[in-house]
Structure formats: structure tokens, C-alpha cells
Amino acid sequence: MQATEFEPKVSQSQQEVVVRHSEHTDIPAIRALFTQPSCYAGTLQQPFPSLEKWYKRLGELPDGYYSLVAEWQGEVAGQLSLQVQTNPRRKHVADLGMAVSEECRGIGVGSTLLAAAVDLAHNWLAVRRLELTVYTDNHAAIALYKRHGFVIEGEARDYAFRDGEYVDVFFMANTRE
């Protein structure tokens, strides 16, 4: 049997978005993405990330860790990390985090990237449960996750420190029966 290349299912309106595994040459663009104020404010990343830090993080990925990028018009417009748990009792679970460039929001980049990750996890990696945390005030991200089958399972108060104050998160999951 011949191996086939993974191709995520995308709608007609999202055909311009290309999702692929990130490469070493993408690291400067990924770092640039996370220098955008709304990207580091919407994730657990710190402002002013060094390029060296990103090379260490993404240069050699451990087993079970996937880094996907979404390209829009030939440029990296989003990044998603998917980490499959290594604990034998949690190998059916993966955690994910993502960010989309400020200029590319609302045009299907995040939706296409998330759809590819859900497809990869459920249909190729035998992951039954995808988990994430999202700030409770990130309404656009919450709506995106809900459209892709994630449900809110709980809330954590004062989960992270952001812009001078403690903020809450929702725990969300997409579970395949």
C-alpha cells in the first residue's frame, strides 16, 4: 500500500489557506506572529519572544508534538501546536494551542487550521479527546472552538497573569465518541 499525503478537508471559501507542518525555515515567521500584541495577550506567551527561544522550541520537536502553520497568500498567517499525551493512560488525549495573525482574522485562516488539526488528531493519531484553555474574554476564539465541536467543561479563576491582572480561562474539549 502506498502512503498518501495528509490533505485537510477545507470548504470552497477556505481554499486559499494552505495548512502544512511547520518547517525550520518558518520559525522566524512564527516568532513574528507571536510578537503581535493580541497574539501574546491571547496565549500564554510572553511579549518580546527571542528568535533563539523559538528555535529551541520548534527546532527539534519531540515525539507526539505537531506544529502546523496556515499560509495565506504565501505567508505564515497562523500556527497551531498539538501535543499528544505520553502517559500511557492519557495517550488518547492531545492538547492544542493556536494563534492567527491580526491581519488574517475573520477570513477562514483559524477555522482551516483548526479543522486540519482536529482531522489529524481524530483520524490519523487515534486521539479521542482534544483539550485547550481559552481566556474567558476571547469571544472570537470561543466561538471558533465551538464551531469545531469543542464544549466548555469548566472555568479556572485567576489562571494566568496578563497585562497587569489575573485572568480566567475556560477549559474546552472536543471528544470523539
CATH code of residue 66: 3.40.630.30
Can you give the pLDDT at residue 41?
83
Domain of residue 103, residue span: 15-132
Give this prediction's pTM. Answer: 0.86
Number of domains in the chain: 1
Q: Is residue 171 part of a domain?
A: no
Task: State the alpha helices, DSSP H only, in the chain.
Answer: 27-33, 37-41, 51-58, 109-124, 139-147
Can you give the pLDDT at residue 39?
83
Can you give the pLDDT at residue 15?
55
* Alpha-carbon distances of 62 from 42, 56, 67, 144, rounded to whole Å: 25, 11, 11, 28
Query: What are 76-126's pLDDT values in tens digits?
Result: 999 999 999 999 999 999 999 999 998 888 889 999 999 999 999 999 999
Q: Is residue 153 part of a domain?
A: no
